[in-house]
Each structure stands twice: as structure tokens, then as C-alpha cells.
């Protein structure tokens, strides 16, 4: 029995001249969806007409381009896809269509097809050479080829006989078939939304963020629901993989994925161009293709590094974020900011490249070293400080349960934190406006990290110190009350986060801050607070005030 899936696409299959392209376009108009003709996409990819591809490059090259076009079409949502007549012969295309789309076959008798092809050739202002009309008996040739393909067309969930129907009638029958095929999918749709914390909506497409206790075993299921299949290249650090690698590999292999894995040393110092090149070498050795998926299993460092590789290898591979650190779950895995560090600054080399999904198994936090777990609370507290005073109050009231990682409340808090991040990303994907407020505390933090060569601080520790610095600066500029500064300080201390530091050269911190990503026209854009839950951006902060604050948070 065929496994049902939740599909938001319609794919039309069928023999040549059954009307796939014109019907797909009309159905898309009726449903207010997008329309994609894979033959048109092939021409766009190659810069050649289809007959030229066959003549110059051969059928194998054409089928390769066809798979590429179909794969990219199926990755979208709310799309009506017109496939080529022979696309369904490839088992990989069959599997992809059945996983992602409601498949409707347009049928017609051989005589009808012959007359349509003949009419198209005779009356077209730009006639196309029709190989099916070649030879002494084209009708017989059409009948034989159609009979050969008929078993493949039988995979369709709905068939429309188009011989005596108008375009509008065929289109309505296709829509009827889509409704019929989806009549039993309510439960599956609910399953797909289980543990859904939020959906990140960006110009490059939406993707889900799942947060819950014990989700690793559902990784294969969630990836397939996202239309992913084939080869999964897991990028992880040695420590995380030693704990969760076997579980992840088994989960993926149970769903038919071929699993390769590449391990990197743990720690921020790994996030550099040399390590990225090593991962490129790994992908080349395994002959990775654009249909492959990269799975980032680990904390924020792994997510940044694996995402950077995914964005740049073969001009972009699909990738999935599986964060195992608190900072990764609540913040770093969401928003598509991928990067590697430079010796003179953090995240200076990178891109915006969104994952296909994020899956955060809160249970993995139970195996984190205490220092790393503590570090992660900084980003969650930050989200309350910049955008949600009610969330900040909730954190104040539930410190003990969160520190003890009570499953329900911890999952709830991480999901809310992820939703806040997703909301900002949806408004400003590429950090040209509002998204900069997510960097509250990060100007000083990145300066501390770079000045210590990424060896002294965990990211959340540096952010905690940076947020105290930003709060003090906000107060010095008359923006924030002293009581609000004290509330922030008190909550950070309750989560055992640092509020100052030592062992760092102040001059080195200032130098690193000058090349921070938030510099505009050589001026640092400071994210400050007017109140808890209300962030503002200032580019006119006096240098002497910055130095005074740094002297308060960096002890000699």
C-alpha cells in the first residue's frame, strides 16, 4: 500500500500532446499557485532548445537536466508542475513526485494525440520538429510508445481523459483529483505540524522549526516531509557525533537515506577556511551532487560551518539544521546566517543561506557540559530584552525549572525564543534593517572573542558580558533606567552567566570592534535598550562612553 504524504504541489504526467503545459498553467491560475514547465526550465538551464540538447549532448544529458529541473520544482510549495512525457520513466523522478506532489495523469487515445501533434505542426507559426511524426506510420509508433509507457503512468493518483473535454473542464478535473487525493491527509498534515515551534518565512521560501523532547528519531520523517531524500552528508564535531552519531545515522538509514559523515574538531577555532576546505575535499571524495543534503549536527559552530559549506559547494546544497546546543536551538540555527571566522574578526566571511528545516531535540541538552548549557541562556534572555518583556518576566519567574531542564517548560521557552528570532528574520532576512537588533550585546561580545582568539569565552558568555556593557551604555546615554539595568544583571546572574570578565586587552577589543559586521560608514551601529523589550539602534555613541563602559566590564 502506498504511503500517503502531505503534498502542496500538483504534478501532471502523461504522453506528449495530452495538454500538460496548458492545463498546468490554467490550474495554477484557478488555484492562485505558481506554474513550472520542466521543459522550459531545461531550456533555461542549458541555453539550448530541447532538440539541440538531444542532437549535441545526447539523451543522457537531457535526462540529467530533466531530473535537476524536476527536483528544483518539487522543492517549492503550491506549484503546478508540467513534466516531460518521458520524465516518469526514471525511478528517481517517480519517487520524488510521489513524495512531494499529487500526481495527475492526463490521458488521451493515440488517435487524439496524433491529430493534436499534426495540427500543432501544420498551424503553428513556429513549428517544432516532432520525432513522433517521423516514419511511415506515425500513428502506430505513437500507439506502441504509449503502450510501453502506460504502466508508468499508472502510478498517478488521478487520471483525466482529455479527448473530448475543454481546457476548463480538464483543469477542473485536475483540481478535483487533487482534492480527492488529499481527502485523507488531515492526520498526516497534523503529524507534519507536530512539535512545530514556528515557520520561518523568507524571500527564498519558508521552512519549519521543530522543537521538542526526543525528536532525533523523527529526523528522517521530518526531512522526507520537507521533500528531501537520497544522500545525507552529516557534518558534526567529534564530541557531539560520539554521543548522537549512531542514533542519527540509524534514523536516516531507516528512511532510505545513504549516510556519509564528516567530523571536525570541537570549538570555535575550527570555524575557519582551512576546515571548510577539508569538508569540500570530503564532499568531492564522496562525489556529492546537488541532490545531496547536508545535515549540520551540533552546536552553533557546526551550524555556521556546515551551512557555509552548503551555501558554497556546487553553488548550493540543501541543508538541515539539527542543533544540539541551547544557543543553536534558540538562536543560531534560525535565519540562515552562515559563516566562518577570520583572524581579525568573527563571522566576517559568510552568506545568508536558509536551511530546509530546523529540528531541535531538547533532550540532547542533557548531555551538554554545564558551562556550555549555561552559555546558551544568554541568547534566550537577549530575545526577551530586545522584543518581549512578557517573555523576560516569564524567564525571571521560572529560572529553577529551566536550569534543571524540565522537559515541558524548557521546550516551551526554546520554542518561544525560536519564534521571536523567526519573526525578526521574516521582516529582515539579510540584516538591512530590523534584524540588527538581534545583535544586542554582540558588538562587545565579538570584540571579546576576537581579542582572545576565540579561546577564552564561549559565545554566550561573551554575549552576557556584552549585554551588560550595552545596558550600561544605554543608561549612560539616558535611554534606560538603572532599575532595568539591574533586572538584566540579576537574571544573568541567576542563570550563572558572567557580567564582567578579565584577562583581555581592552585595546585589542576596540580594534576587533572596528571591523565588526555592524559597522556602517566606519561607525558602529550600537543596539541599545530604551526599556526591557524595546531595542533601538544608535550610530552616534561617543567613543569616550564606549571606553568607560568597557573599563567597567573588563576588569584589569
Q: Which fold has domain 197-368?
A: Rossmann fold (3.40.50)
pLDDT(139) > 70: yes
337 belongs to the catalytic site: yes
356 belongs to the catalytic site: no
Beta strand ranges found along 330-449 (DSSP E): 337-342, 345-352, 357-361
- Higher local confidence (pLDDT), 185 or 370: 370
48 belongs to the catalytic site: no
**Catalytic one among 431, 449, 461, 476?**
431
**Catalytic one among 224, 271, 337, 356?**
337
How many residues in the chain? 556
pLDDT(536) > 50: yes
Which CATH number is 434-555 given?
A: 1.20.1090.10
* Helix or strand (DSSP H, E) at 409: helix 407-427
Could you read off the pLDDT of 382-400 as tens digits, one per residue?
Answer: 999 999 999 999 999 999 9
| Domain definitions of the chain by residue range | 9-188, 197-368, 434-555
Could you read off the pLDDT of 304-317 as tens digits, one per residue?
Answer: 999 999 999 999 99
- Higher local confidence (pLDDT), 240 or 127: 240
Q: Decide: helix, strand or coil at residue 197.
A: strand
435 belongs to the catalytic site: yes
Could you read off the pLDDT of 254-283 as tens digits, one per residue?
Answer: 888 999 999 999 988 899 999 999 999 999
pLDDT(188) > 70: no
- Is the CB of residue 264 less than 8 Å from the CB of residue 305? yes
**Catalytic one among 26, 67, 421, 517?**
421
371 belongs to the catalytic site: no
pLDDT(171) > 90: yes
Which CATH number is 9-188 given?
A: 3.40.50.300
Could you read off the pLDDT of 433-475 as tens digits, one per residue?
Answer: 888 999 999 999 999 998 998 889 999 999 999 999 999 999 9
**Catalytic one among 26, 249, 459, 476?**
459
Read off the pTM: 0.66
**Catalytic one among 71, 271, 382, 446?**
446
Q: Decide: helix, strand or coil at residue 396.
A: helix
Q: How many CB atoms lie within 10 A of CB 447?
A: 29
User: Given this chain, do its domains 9-188 and 197-368 carry the same CATH topology?
Assistant: yes
pLDDT(5) > 50: no
456 belongs to the catalytic site: no
DSSP string, 132-174: GG-SS-HHHHHHHHHHHHHHHHTT-SEEEE-TT--HHHHHHHH
**Catalytic one among 66, 107, 220, 379?**
379
What is the pLDDT of the chain when averaged over all its residues?
Answer: 90
Q: Which residues have a Cβ under 8 Å from the Cβ of 122 and sit 6 or more positions away?
A: none
**Catalytic one among 439, 472, 476, 518?**
439
Q: What is the pLDDT of residue 148?
A: 87
Say how far apart CA 401 and CA 408 lie, in whole Å.
10
Q: What is the pLDDT of residue 16?
A: 87
Q: What is the pLDDT of residue 516?
A: 65
pLDDT band at 203 (very low <50, low <70, confident <90, very high): confident
**Catalytic one among 435, 472, 517, 518?**
435
Which of these, 332, 95, 336, lies nearest to 228 by C-alpha position? Answer: 95
**Catalytic one among 442, 475, 476, 517?**
442
Q: What is the pLDDT of residue 518?
A: 59
pLDDT band at 431 (very low <50, low <70, confident <90, very high): confident
486 belongs to the catalytic site: no
Q: What is the pLDDT of residue 122?
A: 46
Q: How far apart are the first and last CA of the chain?
A: 71
442 belongs to the catalytic site: yes
**Catalytic one among 3, 184, 315, 522?**
315
> Residue 343 has which C-alpha cell?
583572524
Say how far apart CA 132 and CA 365 lie, in whole Å.
61
Say how far apart CA 165 and CA 11 lie, in whole Å.
19
pLDDT(153) > 80: yes
Q: What is the pLDDT of residue 125?
A: 45
The helix/strand count (H/E) of the chain reads as: 23, 20
Amino acid at each position: 500500500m502506498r504511503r500517503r504524504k502531505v503534498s502542496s504541489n500538483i504534478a501532471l504526467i502523461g504522453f506528449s500532446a495530452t495538454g500538460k503545459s496548458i492545463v498546468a498553467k490554467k490550474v495554477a491560475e484557478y488555484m492562485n499557485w505558481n506554474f513550472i514547465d520542466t521543459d522550459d526550465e531545461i531550456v533555461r538551464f542549458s541555453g539550448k532548445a530541447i532538440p539541440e540538447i538531444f542532437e549535441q549532448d545526447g539523451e543522457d544529458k537531457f535526462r540529467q537536466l530533466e531530473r535537476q529541473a524536476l527536483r528544483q520544482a518539487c522543492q517549492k510549495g503550491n506549484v503546478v508542475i508540467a513534466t516531460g512525457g518521458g520524465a516518469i520513466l526514471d525511478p528517481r523522478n517517480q519517487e520524488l513526485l510521489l513524495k512531494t506532489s499529487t500526481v495527475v495523469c492526463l490521458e488521451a487515445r493515440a488517435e487524439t494525440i496524433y491529430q493534436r501533434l499534426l495540427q500543432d505542426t501544420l498551424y503553428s507559426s513556429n513549428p517544432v520538429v516532432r520525432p513522433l511524426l517521423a516514419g511511415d506510420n506515425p500513428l502506430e509508433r505513437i500507439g506502441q510508445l504509449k503502450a510501453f509507457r502506460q504502466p508508468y503512468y499508472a502510478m498517478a493518483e488521478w487520471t483525466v481523459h482529455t479527448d473530448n473535454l475543454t481546457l476548463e473542464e480538464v483543469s477542473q478535473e485536475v483540481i478535483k483529483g487533487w482534492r480527492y487525493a488529499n481527502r485523507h491527509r488531515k492526520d498526516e498534515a497534523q503529524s507534519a505540524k507536530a512539535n512545530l515551534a514556528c515557520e520561518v518565512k523568507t524571500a527564498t521560501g519558508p521552512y519549519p522549526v521543530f522543537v521538542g523532547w526526543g525528536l532525533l528519531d523523527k529526523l528522517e520523517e521530518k526531512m522526507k516531509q520537507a521533500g528531501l531524500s537520497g544522500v545525507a552528508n552529516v557534518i558534526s564535531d567529534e564530541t557531539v557525533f560520539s554521543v548522537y552519531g549512531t542514533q542519527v545515522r540509524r534514523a536516516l538509514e531507516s528512511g532510505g537515506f545513504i549516510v556519509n559523515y564528516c567530523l571536525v574538531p570541537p570549538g570555535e577555532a575550527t570555524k575557519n577556511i582551512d576546515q571548510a576546505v577539508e569538508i569540500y575535499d570530503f564532499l568531492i571524495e564522496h562525489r556529492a551532487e546537488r541532490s545531496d543534503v547536508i545535515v549540520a549536527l551540533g552546536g552553533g559552530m557546526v551550524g555556521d560551518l556546515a551551512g557555509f559549506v552548503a551555501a558554497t559547494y556546487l553553488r548550493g546544497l540543501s541543508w538541515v539544521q539539527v542543533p544540539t546546543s541551547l544557543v543553536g536551538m534558540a538562536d543560531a540555527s534560525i535565519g540562515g546566517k552562515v559563516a566562518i571566522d577570520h583572524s581579525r574578526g568573527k563571522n566576517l566571511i559568510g552568506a545568508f543561506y536558509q536551511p530546509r528545516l530546523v529540528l531541535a531535540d531538547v533532550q540532547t541538552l542533557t548531555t551538554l557540559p554545564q558551562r556550555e548549557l549555561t552559555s546558551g541562556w544568554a541568547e534566550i534572555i537577549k530575545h526577551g530584552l530586545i522584543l518581549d518583556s512578557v517573555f523576560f518576566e516569564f524567564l525571571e519567574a521560572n529560572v529553577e525549572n529551566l536550569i534543571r531542564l524540565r522537559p515541558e517548560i524548557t521546550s516551551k521557552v526554546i520554542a518561544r525564543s525560536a519564534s521571536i528570532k523567526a519573526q525578526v528574520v521574516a521582516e529582515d532576512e539579510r540584516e538591512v534593517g530590523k534584524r540588527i537588533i538581534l545583535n544586542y550585546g554582540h558588538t562587545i561580545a565579538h570584540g571579546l572573542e576576537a581579542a582572545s582568539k576565540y579561546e577564552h569565552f564561549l559565545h554566550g558568555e561573551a554575549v552576557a558580558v556584552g549585554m551588560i556593557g550595552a545596558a550600561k551604555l544605554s543608561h549612560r546615554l539616558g535611554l534606560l533606567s538603572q532599575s532595568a539595568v539591574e533586572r538584566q544583571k540579576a537574571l544573568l546572574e541567576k542563570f550563572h552567566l558572567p557580567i564582567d570578565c578579565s584577562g583581555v586587552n581592552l585595546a585589542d577589543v576596540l580594534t576587533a570592534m572596528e571591523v565588526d559586521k555592524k559597522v556602517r560608514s566606519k561607525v558602529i551601529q550600537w543596539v541599545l535598550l530604551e526599556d526591557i523589550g524595546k531595542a533601538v539602534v544608535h550610530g552616534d555613541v561617543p567613543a569616550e562612553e564606549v571606553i568607560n563602559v568597557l573599563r567597567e566590564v573588563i576588569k584589569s
